[in-house]
Homo-oligomer: A and B are copies of this chain.
Amino acid sequence: MNTPEIPEIVVRRLPLYARTLSWLVEENVQTVSSQELGANLGMSPAQIRKDLSYFGEFGKQGTGYDVKYLLSQLRQILGVEREWLVALVGVGDLGHAIARYGGFGKRGFKIAALFDNDPRKIGQQVGELEILGMEALPMVVKGLRLRLGIVAVPAAKAQEVTDYLVECGIRGILNYAPINLHVPKGVRVRYIDPVVLLQSMTYHLKSG
């Protein structure tokens, strides 16, 4: 079922398809064609059909795709039918905001534990969670079977924290620190750096 050799770039587009399909479900749309989906997402219908074809045949000629069915298939493929628990390391301003941000929970990801190395922060309560010291990480990861971690520490500490997360069994890292991380094979990293995105726009605006 889980064919190998799926290009990573295709995997990264699947969540976008799922996101749009969720939207269509809310809008009570029953059926969608690759044409319409493409128009919404700003990509070609051919690309959408090709991407989906890596995983199976989900559509019907002449009609398109059943929105609910395709969404449920995509959620299965992505492994997001269950809830995923996430460890958050670094509870400064940014970490606080991430911990309190409701958007994760609504969409299947629950921040299940907070860690920081600042003794003044350890023991503090953020929402329903208490901030734990870094030494608690291995036990918590094991106890809650965590596979995902969010890094929200200063850039200077991010690689060190990452190494520790990986050592403890974390296999996917969402990194908010503005630095490139090095991880062993089998561990994935995704990056969020708003400034990098803004800079790729100022390039176009600088002489506008």
Question: Interface of A with B (CB < 8 Å)?
Answer: 2, 11-12, 14-16, 18-20, 23, 40-42, 77-80, 84, 86, 93-94, 96-98, 100-104, 107-109, 147-148, 150, 155, 171-172, 174, 178-180, 182, 188, 190-208
Contacts and interface: CB of A to CB of B under 8 A. Distances in A.
B195 A15 contact: yes
Contacts of A96: 97
Contacts of A147: 205, 208
Contacts of A172: 198, 201-202, 204-205
B94 A19 contact: no
Contacts of A171: 201, 204-205, 208
The copy count of this chain in the complex is 2
Given A100-B93, A155-B23, A148 B201 contact: yes
8 contacts: A14-B203, A18-B199, A42-B180, A78-B199, A97-B100, A109-B198, A174-B197, A191-B197
A55 to B, nearest CB: 11
Given A97-B97, A104-B194, A195-B103, A20 B180 contact: yes
A38 to B, nearest CB: 11
Q: Which of A190, A196, A202 has the most CB of B within 10 A?
A: A202
A202 B78 contact: yes
